[in-house]
């Protein structure tokens, strides 16, 4: 039996997570969630990984979210517990200190969309559809969707999409600011790898602190945000990477950053 989710290290500093249940639109089974949290334990403990890409096998779906067939067999208490686990897993992804790129190879619906929203950057295949459709099932997004979508595109547009349970295509998603980049299906993963490679070449401590400054600062007023930025900046000053960057600039060569 194949693993429901796969992890591999590519190009030295790029970790790739692949949802591997294409036959059921890469939905979140309990076994997938358990393995995902094991992978996250590993990612949080490693210092060599500088960027993470999350994608899925198959051409039809990035993820349809919760496994509704599995959920039919659950009690109300078990459903509540499972939704909490999905939310916890997605929050752990959002809190990874390194940039996370969602390479959306198809439909991202419900929890699959919430997963994408927790990533730092979203690249969608041109044939993708996406949305938070939970109200059509008489529930609401329960793994961060109401909060992250509203913060990303504004409360009015988020309410429109959530209240109507409407799916949008890639073109509209980019216009709304849900996705940052688009690609042909056959080029999607290569485009994500190119972006990840560009990120991984830069100072890894600086990238982590830049992510922290943006994520923490955007939740505050501008004065507090500037203080957060200054503290994150100070953490880069005493690093060997900063010295290497200056020396490489003088030598007119590419820097060799070590994350130190």
Angle (CA) 103-151-184 rounded to 5° is: 20
Q: Is 3 helix (H, G, I), strand (E, B) or coil?
A: coil
Just list the catalytic residues: 66, 111, 114, 134
Angle (CA) 231-236-242 rounded to 5° is: 160
Spatial distance between the Cα atoms of 136 and 202, rounded to a whole number of angstroms: 44
Q: Is 59 helix (H, G, I), strand (E, B) or coil?
A: coil
Q: Which stretches does DSSP call E strand in the chain?
A: 5-10, 14-19, 51-56, 61-63, 100-104, 107-109, 121-125, 129-131, 168-169, 181-183
């Amino acid at each position: 039996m194949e693993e429901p989710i796969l992890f591999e290290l590519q190009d030295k500093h790029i970790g790739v997570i692949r949802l591997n249940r294409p036959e059921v639109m890469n939905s979140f089974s309990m076994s997938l969630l358990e393995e995902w949290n094991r992978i996250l334990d590993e990612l949080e403990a490693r210092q060599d990984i500088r960027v993470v890409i999350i994608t899925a096998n198959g051409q039809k779906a990035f993820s349809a979210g919760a496994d509704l067939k599995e959920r039919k067999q659950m009690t109300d208490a078990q459903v509540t517990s499972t939704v909490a686990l999905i939310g916890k897993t997605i929050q752990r992804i959002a809190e990874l200190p390194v940039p996370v790129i969602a390479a959306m190879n198809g439909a991202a619906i419900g929890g699959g969309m919430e997963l994408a929203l927790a990533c730092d950057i979203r690249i969608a295949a041109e044939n993708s559809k996406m949305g938070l459709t939970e109200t059509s099932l008489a529930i609401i997004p329960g793994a961060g969707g109401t909060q992250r979508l509203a913060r990303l595109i504004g409360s009015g547009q988020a309410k429109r999409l959530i209240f109507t349970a409407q799916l949008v295509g890639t073109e509209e998603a980019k216009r709304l600011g849900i996705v940052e980049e688009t690609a042909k299906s056959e080029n999607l993963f290569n485009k994500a790898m190119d972006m990840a490679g560009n990120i991984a070449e830069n100072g890894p401590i600086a990238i982590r602190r830049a992510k922290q400054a943006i994520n923490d600062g955007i939740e505050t007023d501008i004065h507090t945000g500037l203080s957060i930025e200054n503290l994150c900046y100070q953490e880069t000053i005493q690093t060997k990477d900063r010295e290497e960057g200056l020396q490489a600039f003088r030598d007119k060569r590419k820097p060799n950053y070590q994350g130190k």
